[in-house]
Homo-oligomer: A and B are copies of this chain.
Amino acid sequence: MKELNDRIMKDGRSLGNGIIKMDRFLNHQIDPKLMMMAAQELVNRFAENKRINKILTVEASGIAPAILIGYLMKLPVVFCKKAHPSTMSDFYSAKVHSFTKQNETHIIVAKDYLTPKDHVLFIDDVLAFGCSGTGIVDLCNQAGATIEGMGFLVEKSFEGGRHALEQKGVTRIESLAIIESLDNNKIKIKATS
């Protein structure tokens, strides 16, 4: 998506070690107009799949695109939690490794909100190593829910997340901006087709 590519080139900052800071528009400060354009584009890419009946995401940065996509598609949005709320008794849990933070966390979803009837579109801001997505596959397998696809605003293709998710059986993955390399702190984005 040209507008997103342009914004990454303008406001993204490569910090070395494959890390790109996009906190001016994506995951700390958010530009709602850009986020709505991205949401609309992801809706368009999955529009032909009429089975999708739920949007799934993970707190926190996934919530903004997910709620806009849920609004546009008229579907409920469920965000998986990273901590176990004291009021939640019956839930599925999956381990997620974070390469950035070098730790293991868990993502959690109440059994009430992920069931065999669900045909899920998973939405997140960034696809890197695919760790969150892999955790989502695990949760959906536990619940008997079907993953119809996954949509990301930004993919760091050099970190291999797409392959990791395909290995887990995800057949449809869409990313709006694909960063091919951050070598020498230079942001290289795949040309929009």
Contacts and interface: CB of A to CB of B under 8 A. Distances in A.
A33 to B, nearest CB: 7
A29 B77 contact: yes
A63 to B, nearest CB: 4
A30 B189 CA distance: 34
A64 B86 contact: no
Given A30-B79, A71-B32, A71-B68, A15 B63 contact: no
Contacts of A47: none
B79 A35 contact: no
A46 interface: no
The interface size bin for chain A is 35 or more
Instruction: Specify how many copies of this chain sit in the oligomer.
Output: 2
Interface in A90-119: 100-101, 109-110, 112-113
Interface in A4-24: 15, 19, 21, 23-24
A86 B60 contact: no
A79 B78 CA distance: 19
Interface of A: 15, 19, 21, 23-24, 28-33, 35-36, 59-60, 63-64, 67-68, 70-71, 74-79, 81, 85-88, 100-101, 109-110, 112-113
A94 to B, nearest CB: 16
Given A60-B79, A60-B81, A67 B30 contact: yes
Contact of A110 (B15, B23, B36, B70): B23
Contacts of A63: 59-60, 63-64, 67
B21 A76 contact: no
Nearest to A60: B59
A35 B66 CA distance: 13
A161 B38 CA distance: 36
10 smallest beta-carbon distances between A and B, as pairs: A59-B60, A32-B71, A32-B70, A63-B63, A64-B67, A60-B60, A30-B77, A29-B113, A29-B78, A21-B87
